[in-house]
Amino acid sequence: MTSSVTGGCPLALVILLLVSMDPTATEVVNSVNDCTEFFLDGKPPDIPGVLQQGTIQDQNRYKPVCQEYENTRRFMTLYDTVNKIPVFSAYKYTGDDGSKRPRNPKWMFEPKLEDGGSKSNMKQLNKGKKYSKQASFSDYTNQTDYDKGHIFPSAHAHHKSDKEATFTLTNIVPQAGTFNRGSWQRMEKCVRCVMHEYCLNQNNQHEAFVVTGAIPNANKTLKNKVNIPKTLWTAFCCYSKVTGEWLASAHWGDNVKENPRVLMETKNIDMISLIDVDPFPQHQYRLNVTVSQYYPTLESVNVLPLL
């Protein structure tokens, strides 16, 4: 079943909610608590066996990265150096100045993950070079099944520099092409639409907290190196001055080929515990809220009913 919605989203989206300059300074920090501005109330997500109550369970494997570009922190990533994919990226949606996605983005990599040095400058990617602790550009070439799927999507970034900063090997996973360009992309677009319409804080500024991640597959890799996640998930939460309440929703889907007409369903935040993720710990009073009731105010979007 689908329902039609009206308000500010592109026509016919199906859903639920959905580099260029060098150097880029990026910090590989000691703890996720060194980069808390991208977490709701400064609380990082809980992921059993990976990150619990702000403590990384295996500090040799999982590396927190404050993604800084042009001397400004843009988002935070917890990176898995064994699977060579991000566990999650956390960011704030702060509106959109109308900048377009880079047409020919210059991909970047994180040198400090490789050399362990004290200084960290995200560098423009040498596309012929291979890396031991992160994916290489060549890992994604000469194959047609998987895209370089953004975790923090450039479409959710505020302006040109923010969008450019998302094009780093530490912010992508192998994502099935039809999934990336199908239900997942439509979800990202509609989530953005909802956040833009409703996530206005008391200062009348756009502000929403988003955490998006990947659940690795036990035995599936791209070119025997980069883990192909079995599931991608995302959740957002914000206070809405428009409605006078907290809004939140979660989405996730299997990272497999799909029919282009497949729809993604909007779920309450508490349902994301089904996949062993708690994106906003210690915020139980917000678990039962969702955005589905506001879909009718948005423009011409087909939306699946809330589960």
Q: What is the CATH number of the domain that holds 194?
A: 3.40.570.10
Token pair for residue 5?
Answer: 């919605």
Of 254, 287, 292, nearest in space to 268 by CA = 287
Domain count, the chain: 1
Mind listing the pLDDT tens digit for each residue in 5-53? Answer: 333 454 434 334 433 333 344 555 567 888 899 999 999 999 999 999 9
Mind listing the pLDDT tens digit for each residue in 104-149? Answer: 888 998 887 876 543 445 678 777 788 889 999 999 999 999 999 9
Longest dimension (CA), the chain: 54
The pLDDT score that the predictor gives to residue 112 is 79
Pairing of strands 51-52, 24-25: unpaired
Q: Is residue 58 classed as helix, strand or coil in its secondary structure?
A: coil
**CA 45 to CA 87: how far, in whole Å?**
11
The pLDDT score that the predictor gives to residue 192 is 93
Length in residues, the chain: 307
Contact assessment for residue 181 and residue 281, using Cβ atoms and an 8 Å cutoff = no
**CA 227 to CA 233: how far, in whole Å?**
16
Contact assessment for residue 251 and residue 231, using Cβ atoms and an 8 Å cutoff = no
Token pair for residue 238?
Answer: 């914000």
**CA 152 to CA 149: how far, in whole Å?**
9
Helices (H), the chain: 112-115, 160-165, 177-180, 183-198
Mind listing the pLDDT tens digit for each residue in 165-213? Answer: 999 999 999 999 999 999 999 999 889 999 999 999 999 999 999 999 9
Amino acid at 100: K
**CA 254 to CA 222: how far, in whole Å?**
16
Domain encompassing residue 242: 3-303
Pairing of strands 226-227, 221-222: antiparallel
Mind listing the pLDDT tens digit for each residue in 214-244? Answer: 999 999 999 999 999 999 999 999 999 998 8
Question: What's the pLDDT band for 289 if we cut at 50, 70, 90?
Answer: low
The pLDDT score that the predictor gives to residue 72 is 87
**Which residue did the predictor score with more confidence, 307 or 94?**
94
Question: What's the pLDDT band for 285 if we cut at 50, 70, 90?
Answer: low
Token pair for residue 33?
Answer: 């608590």
Of 167, 170, 152, nearest in space to 102 by CA = 167
Mind listing the pLDDT tens digit for each residue in 78-103? Answer: 999 999 999 999 999 999 988 888 88
